[in-house]
Structure 1
Amino acid sequence: MRIANKIGFVFAAVLLGLLPACAPRVIDHEQVSKNEKIVIRFSHVVGEDTPKGQAARMFAKLMKERTNGKVEVQVFSNSSLYKDSEETDALQQNRIQIIAPATPKLSSLVPELAAFDLPYLYSDLDRYHQVLDGPVGQQIAASLYQQNMVELAYWDGGMKQFTNSVRPIRTPEDLAGMTMRIMPSAVLDQQFKLLQVTPVEINFNDLYSALTKKQVDGQENSISNIYSKRFFQVQKYLTLSDHGLLGYVVVMNRDFWNSLDPETRRTISLVMQEVTDWERQQAVQFEQNNLKAMSNCQCIEIDRLSQAEKDRWKEFYQPLYQTMEQKLGTHFFRQLNPQP
């Protein structure tokens, strides 16, 4: 976090040299007198009743309150503006100003983000937060800046779990022969191919239909997404594997950010920090509540992996860790401090 500090530290010279980009602004004399209202379009692909969906709405509400209506954040959920395969390009062209994609969706632009697709990288959310909020997260922010993006926050979707319609999953061998939906990511592609799975890239909001039509056997996702999108209605088995974090990077178009006055940038930074703290707590609460609801409805068989079973999965993935260390470099990989 600490957006202004990060950008000032890494890109002070660049910031001073850039000219303000055109920002969508409208005049609303009733609410902000003669001042210009700043309109920020925030697009995301998940439902409103998810941690990310609620955090986006809270950010909009607080920005309006803290700026006395000067800043209007318009939130577009459920891919109502752009699909997840389209939103990055839309952001870079300033057709929208904020997106919050899952980390794999930016890994082709920022290879360091691919490290967070490694299964069982960390055993708990606190460790993910320590790394993303520290020097590694700052290094990723610097790389994002070069791609015309300013990192505003790292949000949680929750730990990833497997669902499928074929059989219960407890060992890596149980997935062999299945087709599974993945997000665009070379690491996820390799991860599932190690499992002898056929990975298929499908947009998030097309996934329910794909599962219904048996175009894929299963998928991996957070409990809140599995519940809010009703995947449990078209899948037979849910494995609580906690095999990775479904994390989101909240990013703003860099040229738009540079066009804002310092006080507005400061307010965005402070509000985003407040919302991020709240969002991370909500992600845990959503997971507990949604899992309880699915358990009570008895509409999907739920299995939870033991720690010994999780250790076996991590051992299975060691070749992928070795490949990633070679790709990202030993220095960066050691900063992650992955547990053996």
Structure 2
Amino acid sequence: MNTLRKALLAALVGAALLPMANAQAADIKERTLKFASAQAADHPFSLGGQRFAELVTAKSGGKMKAKLFTGGTLGGDAQVISSLQGGTVDVTFVSPGLLSTMDKDFGIFYVPMAFNDAREADQLVDGPFGRKLLDKLPAKGLVGLAYWENGFRSITNSKRPIHKWEDLQGLKMRSIQIPIFLDIYKAVDANPVPLAFTELYAALESKAVDGQDNPLPTIETGRFYEVQKYLSLTRIVYDPLVVLFSKKTWDKLGADEQKLLAEAAREATAYQRQVNREAEASMVKSVTAKGMVVNELSAAERDRLRDKLKPVGDAFVKGLDPAVVAEFNAELAKARGASKTAAK
């Protein structure tokens, strides 16, 4: 073995042993954390959770473990948030809409068609604006560790393709249980029906509702192609994913353990986003092969939909902290400028 190869091998071995060495030097106790996912084991959410668990084990030298419970076995998102606040579940991830029921400013992500692409959203949530929102959570019994990705939400239904906003008129559409989504569907003369995700498949199957909106990976792993004929790529809202920890559990941890968990959540972020975006890219072909009819809104119809929904967004932000709205808009403008520069 030549000198260069010996040096490379030594570096790799050292890197592999570093987490364990750090764990032995740090104050890390034997713990098993309960990590809840409402999604299937092969969903990008759960895959991100699995990567987080692997990082926790590696960084702690095997002392700390995160056991992942998938498929909603620990309850729906709202129930799991309550369990985190009570300290009976330790980790989960949720869309900010659920957090907006505790702090309305989290709902700003749901202003319709606010983001042009995921890169803009990344810069916003990974910067000072995203951090300021997370800093609001300890008062609610939660600790925000990172932002992963849910993605752009598109519409499926069992009645017809959505080529223009008028095609939504009269459809019974499942809505996330937050006011702005009800207002979005009311604005296009649809009939919103608030439902938890764990109840959604059965409602679609029984025709209690005609359709729903979700990011593409959730549409596939939720097997909605079995009960929905049409997928329309409306992308009306970009939905981040907030990684949450129980404050009751967090407060029992030492500083080294807290640092380890925060690092694991942040380091899993790039992987989870990559997996989610790869799933989006492959999902359209997959569900088309399974019989779904897929269409993309034209640029002109997207502009018409944006104009139709603008009063919803304008009315919604009036109920938020004006300083939060101003900072959101300022940071989004910066992100747009950075995106344009990168594209040149």
With the length of structure 2 as denominator, give the TM-score of the two structures: 0.85
Partner of 1:94: 87
Residue identity opposite 2:322 in structure 1 = T
Equivalents in 2 of 1:330, 1:252: separation in Å?
28
Equivalents in 1 of 2:192, 2:114: separation in Å?
21
Equivalents in 2 of 1:241, 1:193: separation in Å?
16
The residue correspondences of 1:35-50 to structure 2 (distance < 5 A) are: 36-50=29-43
Would the aligned equivalents of 1:37 and 1:71 in 2 still touch at CA under 8 Å? yes
Identical aligned residues as a percent: 28
Q: Deviations over 1:7-65 (max 9, x none)?
A: xxxxxxxxxxxxxxxxxxxxxxxxx9xx8411211112011111111010111112112
Equivalents in 2 of 1:119, 1:49: separation in Å?
29
Would the aligned equivalents of 1:40 and 1:72 in 2 still touch at CA under 8 Å? yes
Partner of 2:6: none
Query: Which segment drifts farther, 328-337 or 171-180?
Result: 328-337
Would the aligned equivalents of 2:36 and 2:69 in 1 still touch at CA under 8 Å? yes
Matched, 1:119 2:119: no
Pick aligned residue for 1:310 from 302, 307, 330: 302
Partner of 1:64: 57
Would the aligned equivalents of 2:86 and 2:248 in 1 still touch at CA under 8 Å? no
Structure 1 runs of 4+ with >6 Å offset: none
C-alpha deviation, 1:329, in angstroms:
3.7
Equivalents in 2 of 1:200, 1:325: separation in Å?
23
Matched, 1:170 2:163: yes
Partner of 2:126: 133
Would the aligned equivalents of 1:167 and 1:237 in 2 still touch at CA under 8 Å? yes
Partner of 2:182: 189
Matched, 1:333 2:330: no
Which structure would you say has the larger Rg? 2
Would the aligned equivalents of 1:47 and 1:78 in 2 still touch at CA under 8 Å? yes
C-alpha deviation, 1:336, in angstroms:
1.8
Partner of 2:145: 152
SS in structure 2 of the partner of residue 100 of structure 1:
strand
C-alpha deviation, 1:158, in angstroms:
2.0
Matched, 1:215 2:205: no
Q: Deviations over 1:296-331 (max 9, x none)?
A: 33x111001122221211111111122122111433
SS in structure 2 of the partner of residue 120 of structure 1:
coil
Equivalents in 2 of 1:36, 1:125: separation in Å?
38
Greater helix share, structure number: 2
Equivalents in 1 of 2:129, 2:138: separation in Å?
14
C-alpha deviation, 1:66, in angstroms:
1.5
